[in-house]
Amino acid sequence: MIVTANVPIDYLEMGDKLVGENGLYTSRSELIRYALREFILEKLKMLTELEQPHYAHISEEQQEYKSEKKKYIRIPIEKKSENSKSHQEFKIYKIIKKLES
């Protein structure tokens, strides 16, 4: 499958340092496939390690989310606590209108 993506030139320049005869990857495509695979595996692992949310302290919007999940999307965000440890939280957004492709 071919996917087209707009990538900042800075990312390409950094990636090009890893590609080529003396690089770790033979092509940009190989580098991008590897980076995407690692990102997806990392996020899937993170999701499986998350504890189930405690629903005792949720807002009305979150209660509605619980009952009508198809109308909402959960976006993972990184949060840093006071002791500088990062942890995963989710921000919940209501889907107003789906864009047609």
Q: What was the pLDDT predicted at 15?
A: 92
Amino acid, single-letter form, for residue 17: K
Query: 69 — phi, psi (to 5°)?
Result: -60, -25
Beta-bridge partners for 80? 86
- Kindly report the average pLDDT of the chain as a whole number: 76
pLDDT tens for 28-52 read: 999 999 999 999 988 888 777 665 4
> Is pTM, for the whole model, over 0.75?
no
Domain extent listing, the chain: 1-49, 54-101
